[in-house]
């Protein structure tokens, strides 16, 4: 697929194409804005002043570098050494802030004064609303109506930060429809507005740009792992919805051929059922949201609804770089069901006193499974977010709520 | 030869193109509605394929196509509808489709079926010419029209690509936004139509320009036709069909078609006045609906 690939380094790959995936499949009215963004980002990437400002914000505002935690009690139970890359400790509670600050700087350079974003679980929406407050920009967040109900606290958080939250009632009323609505807003307001895509998906330059803003996750974790253990991990694991935290942590290890890269997709009710979000494992190449990638679609090219207990993984597509890494065989993608994820959620919480986001619990589940296959190995896990937002869901799942509290 | 281009020229470059989604509210009614608007004076029919993620569509069309998908729409209905409509009217039938359903079906196979059903070609809102090589080859093989979009934001180079890639006409996006009726069709439309003509001329060709997005009244049709070769109406027709069935959509099409009539010297000016001068008077009051003119080229005679 990647015949154009002369260099042996997978880390050098950039958009618009990752093998047969990616590209720019957008309606003509948005092409000028996409071209402008690609051009501006190319400048930013090469500009030391931009990179210095991004590094300063990452350090002073986000709190980078994030910690690497040796999860000794969980490791003991699992039978392998599990290292946690603590993106949950970032300001706003997940890795999403990395990308948001980077794109807000790009938007500022473009002269845009209004940020719009889609959000599923609300983490990206909260991060975008945060950046809008920090940069003094207007902010509108599109969120599927279904998600505004299951993530009501994040809706309040975004509103507190000054953002307008628009519940999206079209289509399946989840993340993919929130993206559609965001793109419609963008067409109509492109002069003032930057569409702040929250994952490594969409048309070029988003997949490359969002990955770049998350590269610190892997760069730091690689150094920290070597410093702590004296070598590279045997495997790196991360959950994959659109795939931004996974691309961020995988990227540093792409050329370390001995390190397995494992993305955990949400299997929802189970890989054997129809209710899942296994875009790579069960999808087929097609077009969605401006990119060619693996997506869940029927035999006539209609996008199918995905299902996951985790709103952040509930997306029928996946970033094109993941599709490429899958076809190359460089990364593996495995299913984790709602039940496995919730078991891992509880296991980590009880063993380490760390409540993970349900998204990140999928990665923990993958590590617990791999530990059984490879006892004694060293497994680096991206703990992409904290679980405060998921306490209500977990409370219901584990029947921890008192009668009167059921409507949380 | 482009049937769409022929039809637009036969109208005296005063074309009215009506959009309706195939299968809405059901297959039989969507066929009747398309035939009705052709009879009422549409120069060409734009038949929309329902799609799960219609990024360019506003609320009216979204609601119609979503309900069509929910009742289990299949592409087979499209080819059936195209064949049925073209059997009953001479108006060319263009299919408006997002690209993934075509990709999934197979580009050449789709083109072959469309041509066999009597379809004139495709309008592709999310496929730009640079991504359309397979489609352009298939269109060539099956002698189909291909309509690409040009927008007010398009660079000269992008307009050149749209002109070079299109056959039939260039879809001239009136405004930066999605489909849906608007009170004012952006002045940007006129500027864009002029730019397209100028770019085509400098490339030594000619491009027919049909303006779409936001047009819902005869006055707007009349105004657009002072500077473009055709006016495309979508959401207003879909709303009429949803609310009042085939009679309502026929009536609206007839009233819109009145906007294609050349009203003589009084309106021959080139002034930018889209303030619907006296235009309101002669247009919507036309009794056309029930007289059901059966000729799709009538407007050509209007001069």
Q: Give the pLDDT confidence score for residue B185 in this predicted structure.
A: 67
Could you tell me whether strands A21-22 and A17-18 are parallel, antiparallel, or unpaired per DSSP bridges? antiparallel
- Range A157-186 burial, b when 16+ CB lie within 10 A, else e: bbeebebebbbbebbbbbbbbbbbbbbbbb
Rounded to an integer, the average pLDDT of B123-144 is 97
Choosing from B5, B32, B39, B46, the catalytic residue is: B46
Instruction: Identify whether A192 is a catalytic site residue.
Output: no
**Interface probe, candidates B51, B74, B78, B100, chain A, greatest A C-beta count within 10 A:** B100
Neighbouring-strand partners of residue B230: B15, B210
Measure the CA–CA gap between B36 and B14, rounded to whole angstroms. Answer: 19
Predicted confidence at residue A7, as pLDDT, reads 56
Say whether residue A36 is in contact with chain B using an 8 A CB cutoff. Answer: no
Q: What is the nearest CA distance from B123 to chain A, expressed in angstroms? A: 12
Question: Which residues of B fall within a CB distance of 8 Å from A178?
Answer: none
Cα A364 to Cα A93: distance, rounded to the nearest angstrom: 17
Name, in order, each residue with C-beta under 8 angstroms of B147's C-beta and a sequence gap of 6 or more. Answer: B4, B94, B121, B122, B123, B124, B166, B167, B168, B169, B170, B171
Of B58, B101, B128, the CB nearest to A301: B101
**Mean pLDDT within A299-308:** 95
Active site residue A306: no
A100-109, B32-41, B142-151, B183-192: the lowest-pLDDT one: B183-192
A287 closest CB neighbour out of B58, B62, B100: B100
Shortest distance between the Cα of A238 and any Cα of chain B, in A, equals 28
Q: Tell me whether residues B56 and A27 touch, CB distance under 8 A.
A: yes
Q: Residues A100-127: pLDDT tens digits?
A: 999 999 999 999 999 999 998 899 999 9
**What is the predicted pLDDT for the residue at B229?**
98
* Backbone φ/ψ region at A338: left (φ over 0), alpha (ψ -120 to 50), beta: alpha
Buried b (16+ CB within 10 A) or exposed e, A359-396: bbbbbbbbbbbbbeeeeebbbbbbbbbbbebbebbbee
More confident of the two residues B303 and B117: B117
Which single residue is written with the structure tokens 């936004």? B177
Catalytic residue among B5, B32, B57, B229, which?
Answer: B57
* B148 contacts in chain A (CB < 8 Å): 28
pLDDT in tens, A351-377: 999 999 999 999 999 999 999 999 999
**Among partner residues A23, A32, A180, which is closest to B53 by beta-carbon distance?**
A180
Domains and CATH numbers, chain B: 3-302 (3.20.20.70)
- Residue tagged active-site, from A96, A112, A176, A389: A96
Q: Which chain B residues are within 8 Å of A190, Cβ to Cβ?
A: 153, 176
pLDDT range class, residue A404, cuts 50, 70, 90: low
pLDDT at B218: 96
DSSP H helices in chain B: 3-10, 27-39, 59-70, 75-88, 99-105, 107-117, 133-142, 156-165, 188-202, 218-224, 235-257, 288-291
Query: What number is the average pLDDT over the span B183-207?
Result: 91
Tokens in use for A235? 């495997």
CB spacing of B104 vs A28 below 8 angstroms: no
pLDDT at residue B278, as a whole number:
37
**A19-59+95-206 to CATH, choices 3.10.20.740, 3.40.190.10, 3.40.50.1100, 2.70.98.30:** 3.40.50.1100
Q: Where are the domains of chain A?
A: 19-59+95-206, 63-93+214-405
CA A195 to chain centre: 16
Reading across the β-sheet that carries A114-119, which strands appear in turn? A164-168, A138-144, A114-119, A193-195
Q: What is the mean pLDDT of chain A?
A: 95
Please indicate if any CB of chain B lies within 8 Å of the CB of A46: no
To the nearest whole Å, the CA of B67 is away from the closest chain A CA by 10
- pLDDT grade, residue B267 (50/70/90)? very low
Task: Indicate the pTM of the whole model.
Answer: 0.91
A19-59+95-206 and A63-93+214-405 in the same fold:
yes
Burial classification of residue B217, based on how many CB atoms lie within 10 Å of its CB (0-12 exposed, 13-18 middle, 19 or more buried):
buried
Q: Does A31 touch chain B (CB under 8 A)?
A: yes
Q: Nearest residue of B to residue A168 by CA position?
A: B59
The partner residue sitting opposite A286, judged by closest CB among B69, B100, B151, is B100
CA dist B263 and B282 (Å) reads 9
Q: Which tokens hold the place of A182?
A: 């965001």
Q: Left if phi > 0, otherwise alpha if psi is -120 to 50, otherwise beta: which for A287? A: beta
Average pLDDT rounded to a whole number, residues A135-150 = 93
Which residue of A21, A26, A28, A166 to mutate against B (max B Cβ within 10 Å)? A28
- Nearest chain B residue to A290 by CA distance is B126
Q: ipTM of this model?
A: 0.92
CB contacts < 8 Å between A and B, how many?
108
Angle at B194 between CA B192 and CA B198, to 5 degrees: 115
Q: How confident is the model at residue A347 (pLDDT cuts 50, 70, 90)?
A: very high
CB contact under 8 Å between B101 and A300, yes or no, is: yes
Closest CB from B52, B55, B162 relative to A27: B55
Residues of chain B in Cβ contact (below 8 Å) with chain A = 51-56, 58-59, 62, 66, 69, 74-75, 99-105, 125-128, 131, 148-155, 158, 162, 173, 176-178
CATH class of residue range A63-93+214-405: alpha beta
Active site residue A389: no
Query: Is A180 in CB contact (< 8 Å) with chain B?
Result: yes
Determine the pLDDT at residue A405.
59
pLDDT single digits (tens) B81-118: 999 999 999 999 999 999 999 999 999 999 999 999 99
How far apart CA B260 and CA B145 sit, in angstroms, is 23
- From the CA of A134, how many Å to the nearest CA of chain B? 29
> pLDDT at position B263, please?
61
């Amino acid at each position: 697929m990647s015949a154009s690939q002369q260099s042996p380094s997978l880390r050098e790959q950039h958009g618009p194409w990752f093998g047969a995936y990616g590209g720019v499949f957008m309606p003509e009215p948005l092409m000028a804005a996409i071209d402008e963004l690609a051009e501006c980002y190319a400048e930013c990437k090469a500009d030391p002043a931009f990179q210095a400002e991004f590094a300063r914000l990452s350090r002073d505002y986000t709190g980078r570098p994030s910690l690497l935690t040796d999860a000794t009690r969980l490791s003991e139970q699992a039978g392998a050494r599990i290292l946690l890359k603590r993106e949950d400790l970032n300001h706003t509670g997940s890795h999403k802030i990395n990308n948001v600050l980077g794109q807000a700087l790009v938007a500022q350079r473009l002269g845009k004064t209004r940020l719009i974003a889609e959000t599923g679980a609300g983490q990206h929406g909260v991060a975008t609303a945060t950046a809008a407050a920090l940069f003094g920009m207007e902010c509108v967040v599109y969120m599927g109506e279904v998600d505004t109900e299951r993530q009501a606290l994040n809706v309040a958080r975004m509103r507190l930060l000054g953002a307008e939250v628009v519940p999206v009632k079209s289509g399946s009323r989840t993340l993919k429809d929130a993206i559609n609505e965001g793109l419609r807003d963008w067409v109509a307001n492109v002069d003032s507005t930057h569409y702040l895509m929250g994952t490594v998906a969409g048309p070029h330059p988003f997949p490359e740009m969002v990955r770049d803003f998350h590269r610190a996750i892997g760069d730091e974790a690689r150094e920290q792992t070597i410093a702590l253990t004296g070598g590279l991990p045997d495997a790196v694991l991360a959950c994959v919805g659109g795939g931004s935290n996974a691309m961020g942590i995988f990227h540093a290890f792409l050329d370390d051929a001995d390190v397995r890269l494992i993305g955990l997709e949400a299997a929802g009710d189970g890989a054997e059922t129809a209710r899942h979000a296994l875009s790579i494992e069960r999808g087929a190449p097609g077009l969605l949201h401006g990119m060619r990638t693996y997506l869940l679609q029927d035999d006539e090219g209609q996008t199918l609804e995905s299902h996951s207990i985790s709103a952040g993984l509930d997306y029928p597509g996946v970033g094109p770089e993941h599709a490429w890494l899958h076809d190359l065989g460089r990364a593996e993608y495995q299913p984790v069901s709602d039940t496995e994820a919730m078991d891992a959620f509880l296991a980590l919480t009880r063993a380490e006193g760390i409540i993970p986001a349900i998204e990140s619990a999928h990665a923990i589940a993958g590590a617990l499974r791999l530990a059984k296959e490879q006892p004694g190995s060293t497994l680096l896990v991206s703990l992409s977010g904290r679980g405060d937002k998921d306490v209500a869901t977990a409370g219901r799942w584990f029947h921890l709520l008192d009668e009167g509290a059921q409507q949380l | 030869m482009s049937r769409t281009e022929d039809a637009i020229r036969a109208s005296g470059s005063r074309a009215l193109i009506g959009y309706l989604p195939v299968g809405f509210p059901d297959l039989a009614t969507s066929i009747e509605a398309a035939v009705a608007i052709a009879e009422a004076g549409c120069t060409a029919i734009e038949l929309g394929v329902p799609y799960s993620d219609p990024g360019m569509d506003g609320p009216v069309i979204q609601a119609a196509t979503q309900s069509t998908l929910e009742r289990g729409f299949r592409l087979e209905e499209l080819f059936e509808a195209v064949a049925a409509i073209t059997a009953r009217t001479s108006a060319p039938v263009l299919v408006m489709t997002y690209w993934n359903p075509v990709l999934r079906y197979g580009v050449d196979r789709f083109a072959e079926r469309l041509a066999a059903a009597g379809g004139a070609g495709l309008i592709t809102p999310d496929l730009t010419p640079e991504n359309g090589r397979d489609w352009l080859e298939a269109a060539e093989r099956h002698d189909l029209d291909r309509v690409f979009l040009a927008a007010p934001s398009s660079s000269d180079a992008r307009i050149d690509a749209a002109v070079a890639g299109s056959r039939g006409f260039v879809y001239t996006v009136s405004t930066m936004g999605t489909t849906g009726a608007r009170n004012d069709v952006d002045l940007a439309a006129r500027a864009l139509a002029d730019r397209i003509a100028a770019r085509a001329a400098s490339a030594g060709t000619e491009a027919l320009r049909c303006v779409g997005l936001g047009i819902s009244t005869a006055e707007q049709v009349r105004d657009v036709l002072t500077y473009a070769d055709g006016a495309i109406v979508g959401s207003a027709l879909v709303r009429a069909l949803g609310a009042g069935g085939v009679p309502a959509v026929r009536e609206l099409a007839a009233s819109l078609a009145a906007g294609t009539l050349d009203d003589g010297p009084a309106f021959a000016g080139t002034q930018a006045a889209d303030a619907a001068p006296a235009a309101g008077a002669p247009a919507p009051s036309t009794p056309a609906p029930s007289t059901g003119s059966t000729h799709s080229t009538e407007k050509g005679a209007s001069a």
